[in-house]
Amino acid sequence: MDPTVIAMVSTSVVTGLVAASWAGLKAWNGWLEFKRLELTHEHGDRGLPPANGRIEIADLRERVRKLEAIAAGIDI
């Protein structure tokens, strides 16, 4: 084999490895940023849910209570 061909192939391989490493690093940094935002979002929303959410939860609890009463054979 000609030394020029060996140099061209090795340069292509090194260039490909550099490009793959760079792409992997960008993906890793993006994933870390996503997880960081996910964690700060979880800890930032510790307040009360909106009023309409509380009403819906209360309605669901009432429906569950009625269904449990029906399952137990108690008339409401």
Count of residues for the chain? 76
How much is the pLDDT for 6?
A: 95
How much is the pLDDT for 23?
A: 97
pLDDT digits (tens, 9 = 90+) for 9-49: 999 999 999 999 999 999 999 999 999 988 887 655 555 55
The CA-CA-CA angle for residues 43, 62, 74, to 5°, reads: 140
User: For residues 56 and 66, is the Cβ–Cβ distance under 8 A?
Assistant: no
